[in-house]
Chains A and B, each alone.
Chain A
């Protein structure tokens, strides 16, 4: 098990516990006020029609063998239904909207035990205007450029999404540690001043549960008294957009780590902080988009670390109304700490680093308003190092995909 512990207790705090409490109180107050406001002022009015719509993305992908000095994986050629989302939406009156988002990935079939299905979003939104909207219920938190649209494949030129946004990389990258996944109260809006707009979002949610560890009793119910608290603050000036995002939560992992001193470190209440920065700029036919994410953990042991960094930059070019070309570079670095067992029976806690680099290019072509064709070529380079043991493993493979993304 890769455990997750921070390097240094004295790292600069991105959000103090008192600020976290203030944000939680603020968000709950907003939620209550919003509800009371609605009850007090809105007459019962005719509901809008129930709207059902969605999208899917079918892919064909070819993955070359993962080659390392120790092993070679199999080459893969496969068609798949990469993703299908189904939305149900209804306006309850002019300010309130109910929205449900079901997501099915990887050719989902219960009979064949393929893929997975999930209830990604279930919220009701009160829109007071552009300056303030509030979502109550499970929603996707605002964080950098892509978090809220990472699953909306028709909006993205990529087939394989930038590393931490790509669910299929979850074997290699702890993607849920980079990004806040679920909020349950989220307030957001935009404050304009001429052509300059200040965007904000603040949210609160559960501390994350490790939902791929059912043996550890993970049920989707947060049994801690800690919360995810976070937000994004951004500026827009015409087509130039920049912002920074921050979250604070607890690891909430059932694991422990035994240090070389014999001390046992609980990972249940380990504080995690994420800091993100994003920039995007549309200039004529060119489009630049980039993000950085830094994840740190509070820990009082200098011998362990699991800090993480992720960066991506994409340069795109719109060639006419239908064709979009891009070249992109993604880079993730993760520190990890593991208990290494030796053949002679001994063991030690060791720090290591994993790096993933993905230079990639692709194109998308808008065949019709609701049909997008895509092609994407990525070279994935993976490096793992444990310096104290002089262990190093390098591997790389190519991933070539074509896809059709359809909105219905």
Chain B
């Protein structure tokens, strides 16, 4: 098969056009979703054994990208992700300033380089609460209304306020 130059250019144009079109549609969908979301409070929670009182957004990002793998007292950080799409997950990722696909890519890179692990992805907030409460050094996120004394809130993300 010999692909003439014109056909190659046509393929390039087609691929990029499809991407831009799809990207535009996807971006519009995200904007629409953001507009209709009610305000929500998301709590970044940790196991009670974690000694840190609070985190900055950059520190949280460093923990979630695997750059920081230990709490200041040396305990290993165990990050948890939420599988279910929804406003809580969206608010958390927006606070981090990252798309889920970007973090997944970083986790995969860490895994394949022998530098880290992919976090456990939990099915719902109830499960997240139970796992963080039961796992020393763990950090996760749930809707603030779900927080109970078994975990400690380290960041409160007030979306839309």
* Residues of A bordering B, CB below 8 Å: 53, 55, 62, 64-65, 75, 85, 87, 89, 94, 97, 99, 101, 121, 123, 125, 127, 129-130, 148-149, 152, 154-155, 190, 192, 194-195, 238, 282, 285, 317-323, 325, 327, 361-363, 366, 369, 377, 379, 398, 400, 407
Do the beta carbons of B109 and A149 come within 8 Å of each other? yes
Do the beta carbons of A361 and B12 come within 8 Å of each other? yes
Which listed segment binds A: B20-28, B33-41, B44-52, B127-135? B20-28
22 sample A-B contacts, Cβ–Cβ < 8 Å, listed by A number: A53-B111, A65-B2, A123-B114, A127-B69, A130-B67, A130-B68, A149-B109, A155-B105, A317-B20, A319-B19, A319-B23, A320-B26, A322-B101, A323-B19, A323-B22, A325-B16, A327-B16, A361-B15, A361-B16, A363-B19, A377-B8, A400-B3
Collect the chain A residues with CB atoms within 8 Å of residue B113's CB. Answer: 148-149, 152
Given A94-B76, A194-B58: A363 and B101 within 8 A (CB)? no
Least CB distance from A406 to B in Å reads: 12
B108 at the interface (CB under 8 A from A): yes
A361 vs B14: C-alpha distance when bound (angstroms): 10
Q: Summarize A's interface: helix, strand, loop or mixed.
A: strand
Do the beta carbons of A327 and B12 come within 8 Å of each other? yes
B158 at the interface (CB under 8 A from A): no
Least CB distance from A381 to B in Å reads: 11
Interface size class of B (residues with CB under 8 A): 35 or more
Given A127-B69, A190-B67, A325-B16: A285 and B23 within 8 A (CB)? yes
Collect the chain A residues with CB atoms within 8 Å of residue B100's CB. Answer: 321
Collect the chain B residues with CB atoms within 8 Å of residue A325's CB. Answer: 15-16, 18-19
Collect the chain A residues with CB atoms within 8 Å of residue B108's CB. Answer: 154-155, 407
Do the beta carbons of A366 and B114 come within 8 Å of each other? no
Of chain B, the residue at the smallest CB distance from A236 is B67
Of chain A, the residue at the smallest CB distance from B26 is A320
Collect the chain B residues with CB atoms within 8 Å of residue A363's CB. Answer: 15, 19
